[in-house]
Structure 1
Amino acid sequence: MHTLLIKSQSQPDLQTPRQLRHAFTEVIEQHVPDVAIQQRMQLCLSEALTNLVLHAKSQALTVQLSRDSNAWLLDIFDDSPPWSPTEHRDDNLLFTFQEVESGRGVALLHEQCDKLSYHPGQGKQQNQLRLRWSSAKKQKKQTILIVEDNASLSRLYQLYLSDTFNILTAANGHHALQQLATQQVDLLLSDIQMPEMNGLSLRKKINQQAEHKLLPFIFLTGKDDQLIQEQANDLGIDDYLIKPVNKNQLLKTVQRVLGRSQQIHTQLGERIDKKISASLKPQLPQTANSWRMQVSCRDTGAGGGDLLLHKVFAHKTQLLLTDIMGHDHSAKFFSHACGGYIHGLLQAMSTDSNPAQLLTELSNYVMDDKLLAQVTLTCCSIELSEGGKISVASAGHPAPLLICAEQIQAIDVGGVLPGLIADCQYQNSELTVRPGQRLAFYTDGLFESAADNDARFDLQTQISAALRSTLQLPINEALQQVMSLFDQLTNAQPNDDALLLLIEPTL
């Protein structure tokens, strides 16, 4: 069965990629349970639409998201000259679905979806690009291991719990340890009196295994023996039930223990999030190598993070701005791991290194490292030299803004996301910032932290206007006013981390 989730038809302009991205993001987040697939969909949608608008010059565009029993389907129909991205994956070629300036395009689409197909239009038919992602598997039931030597009671407990949980069984402690060695178990329900290895001995063995020491554990016993209960409590169990046990009692106890275990893990994650967030807070010198710098950020408190690291040389200053994506607690750990590596990478830089070389080294490491390969990030590498000279290289990061009295201009710089393609090469963009001009570097949360498309457009418009109107103010006051406006427009509750870095030459 094929179900249409959202469909949009338009005559595309420069605002179309951003508008459709936000419209589709709301539907994607509502209907696609897997966060990783959500991010891959959003990335492919942005990439394909940007290329159609900037390079293919499409005049009519239809985008739709649907699903069948096995997959999510993103279809993009356009009226540009047909060119099949399924036949070429070389990012050095010039073609419709490639952003030549940034080095992104077909390779990214192939990497970020499970299957890509293209049907060129004939006659009045439009070209069709279809991206496919296999449906995320339904969330598995939690698994309970029942350790009970009485076969009748074991079957009874299975009957009580099997509608809600996956059930594994063992007849004694030895068998239970064998099950734990090969199976993922969320809770262990064990009798105390059993042959070969009883429940108390089993718990002692589990306490010696680091990977299972925190496993939720409930004892069952036919004897209301105070001494045995004290021994069980000393072993760090979660509950103790006296037989006979009815279905309602057993089910409620199991759910309560599992819920409490999840609550503890969540609270621990939130505490660690706060400590990691504090450690990742950007710190910069106010001046270095004839440049003034001011940075401010807003942290949502969960998920990935924005990093800004620096190194000051005798005649230049190197900055590295990174946005690590993700919306769960694990993403914060990845941010910390990535931040540690980037810090080491910067400290190992020589005076001969340039921004593009730094991104190439970062990309290669992200691709090869098993931990960082799970991270999706964008990065902007910046080199500040005397005389207002600046060199910038980008890996999928929003373009910096040159703020002048007359206008705000996006700097033409781009590149593929780190770790996406082996041996990816980046390009430096060189420019000179004059006195009275200012540069703004930022993460996408600055312009996208709003509730809907209209609010996001208003946010972008007003923040951009504020960056220009505050140009004559001292840089610290300008930053304060812009971020104060950001807080007002987002009600101090942005839906994504946001960072703004302002820099200007001192001469």
Structure 2
Amino acid sequence: MRQVLKHVLGGLSIIDDDLDAAGLVITEYLTNLLRHSKGEDETVVLLITRTNTSDYMLEIVDDLSPYNLFELNESDWDINSGILVEGGMGVELIRHYFPAADYCTTNNKNHFSVPLKQGKDKPKAIYVDDDKAQLALINAYLKDDYDVVSCQDLTEAWQAITLHDAQVLILDYQLQKQTSEPLLIKLNGSDYRSTLSVVMLTGTDSEDIIGRINRLGIDDYLVKPVKKVRLLQSLERVTNRVKAFEYQVQTPSNMIDYGMSDGFRAHLFGSIEVGDGGDFFMPIPNQQNGFILGDMMGHGIQARKESFAIKGFVRGFLASKPHCNALLNGLNQALYEEQLCKNSLVTLLVGYVHEQRFYWLNAGHPPPIAIDKEGNVRELQGVDPLLGLSVEHQYNVYSESLSDLQHILVYTDGLFDNRENDVTELQQIKQLLSNISLNDGDFASILWQNSQVSLSKEVDDASLIVIN
């Protein structure tokens, strides 16, 4: 849920205070929902809707037995008291951050809602047209909802696309010297198209032209003259469609717990659990039940798209049944020869358990961290260079005995980069472990929860694997 809130609410320019508060409050409400449920197996729906004031409403809808936490809360606990109590804190927490939070039951459905404020930064729209009067008209239509960048030719348009983090491109088809087709072709061959919606706004409704433009992959086609409300509806629809695609998991892992050899388990948390960014997890079930943890350079949808090429290579390589110890050398050669991922870098760690030892290969990834049964914490020495730098390098297989270890931590660098802390990763882990029992059955979950930062501070995808 945190992943959804971070990416979607961030894309809607919700102010940081409301973004961070939403992470706390929705977590608290869902915890309350589970605590008071009666074992029903029902769907819980998250809705984000726009209000009449151009802000947003975040809503949880469920079919469970009604439990109005505001009416049934009998605690007089005060959030400023500094005293922790067993019950009643959640309601006060919700009211503290969202005084207008509401709970009601309508048509056998329970609705919990909180209002969210949109930030001052408007989404950007690039409009390309050689008619100055038309530029002025569309700018007048959109100025209350969008920061409009106006362009009169394709050169200006491409510069605007590369310079501005725009959400939508509005194009006139027929310009003075040429059509806008060359810009669409160039755009489709770039990384910008994955996050930029395209609306064609033109004076022609020729079936031939419409067919040609549709083959170039536009999101909507509007014929001039267009009414303001029709244009705004189109822009909202196509930009929301792109947001939905960005965070749709095409190949969900649905995996939070992976069984390894010798009775060990890998507990998965973060981006790899939901598959929404550049971090990725791949099980290797036919070879000691090992796994691969990867981290593509970048964040969000583009990093995830780049990771598909790596995962495709890995699947093909392992399908021919070589041992995973040879995987990094084969992938290194492919990257060195630029057969894939020409525009990105990847760190990769391959890990597996065999006869009570943990084995790993490491291409530029943070080193695993070992926690022994006495609570001592240390980094496992064994890191090789990034993939694709030298075809001569042969990647090593490192190992560590598991007989005296309680946990092994494998993670992507976003776990600590997001924390904006000057101390080392090892020191941060020691701080996080100070109040956790190493023998707690929920050790992995508690460690992950303690490592969380405010949603607005998550600048990189973060993932954690706890092996025990």
Please name the residue that 2:126 is paired with: 142
AA partner of residue 408 (structure 2): L
Q: 1:318 to 1:485 in 2, by over 3 A?
A: closer
Report percent identity of matched pairs. Answer: 17
Work out whether residues 306 and 497 of structure 1, in 8 Å CA contact, stay in contact via their aligned partners in 2.
no
DSSP-derived class of the 1:372 partner: coil
Question: Offset at 1:318?
Answer: 3.6
2:333 alignment partner AA: N
Partner residue, 2:306: 334
Q: TM-score, normalised by structure 1?
A: 0.50
Deviation (angstroms), 1:166 = 1.0
Q: Which residue of 2 aligns with 1:346?
A: 318
Partner of 2:87: none
1:418 and 1:219 map into 2 onto residues whose CA distance is 50
> What is the alpha-carbon distance in structure 2 between the residues aligned to residue 262 and residue 459 of structure 1?
39
Structure exhibiting the larger radius of gyration computed from Cα positions: 1
Residue type of the alignment partner of 1:402: A
| Alpha-carbon distance between aligned partners in 2 of 1:204 and 1:174, rounded to the nearest angstrom | 14
* Distance change (3 Å), C-alpha of 1:402 and 1:451: closer
1:29-44 to structure 2, matched below 5 A, reads none
Contact 1:442/1:499 (<8 A) preserved: yes
- SS of 1:312's equivalent in the other structure is coil
Paired residue secondary structure (2:331): helix
C-alpha contact 1:334 1:372 (8 A) present in aligned 2: yes
The 8 Å contact of residues 348 and 364 in structure 2, kept in 1 or not, is answered as: yes
User: Is 1:267–2:251 an aligned residue pair?
Assistant: no
What amino acid maps onto 2:465 in structure 1? L
Q: 1: CA distance between counterparts of 2:416 and 2:175?
A: 57
Name the CA shift for 1:461/1:438 in 2 (closer, same or farther; >3 Å): closer
Shift of residue 414, structure 1, vs aligned partner: 0.8
User: CA-to-partner distance for each residue in 1:364-388, whole Å, 9 max, x for gaps?
Assistant: 22344555233332111234322x2
Rounded Cα–Cα distance in structure 1 between residues aligned with 2:202 and 2:294 = 49
1:312 equivalent among 286, 296, 299: 286
For 1:248-327, list aligned pairs within 5 A: 257-258=234-235, 260-270=237-247, 272=248, 274-276=249-251, 278-279=252-253, 281=255, 284-285=258-259, 287-288=260-261, 290-299=262-271, 302-313=276-287, 316-327=288-299
Amino acid at match of 1:279: S
Partner Cα distance (2:419, 2:238) in 1: 34
Q: How far apart, in 2, do the equivalents of 1:450 and 1:390 lie?
A: 28
Q: Is the 8 A contact 1:298 1:497 kept in 2?
A: yes
2:152 matched to 1:167?
A: yes
> Which position in structure 2 is the counterpart of 1:179?
179
The Cα shift of 1:395 comes to 0.5
Residue of structure 2 in register with 1:224 after alignment: none
Superposed CA deviations along residues 334-358 of structure 1, whole A, max 9, x for unmatched, are 23443333233333332xx363x32
Alpha-carbon distance between aligned partners in 1 of 2:418 and 2:137, rounded to the nearest angstrom? 47
Matched, 1:361 2:358: no
Alignment check: 8 A CA contact 1:354 1:383 kept: no
- Name the counterpart of 2:443: 481
Whether 2:373 is the aligned partner of 1:405: answer yes
Q: Counterparts of 2:150 and 2:358 in 1: how far apart (Å)? A: 59
1:396 positional shift: 0.8
Superposed CA offset, 1:81-136 (max 9, x none): xxxxxxxxxxxxxxxxxxxxxxxxxxxxxxxxxxxxxxxxxxxxxxxxxxxxxxxx
Asked if structure 2 preserves the Cα contact closer than 8 Å seen for 1:446 and 1:500, the reply is no
- Cross-structure match for 2:361: 393
User: Matched residues in 2 for 1:398 and 1:180: separation?
Assistant: 46
Alignment partner, residue 347 of structure 2: 378
Which 5+ residue runs of structure 1 have no aligned equivalent? Answer: 1-138, 147-153, 192-198, 222-239, 242-248
Instruction: Report the aligned-residue RMSD.
Output: 4.1
Q: Is the contact between residue 279 and residue 295 of structure 2 (CA under 8 Å) also seen in structure 1?
A: yes
Sort the Cα spacing of 1:364 and 1:319 in 2 relative to 1 into closer, same or farther, 3 A: same
| 1:418 has 2:383 as partner | no
2:293–2:349 CA contact under 8 A, matched in 1: yes
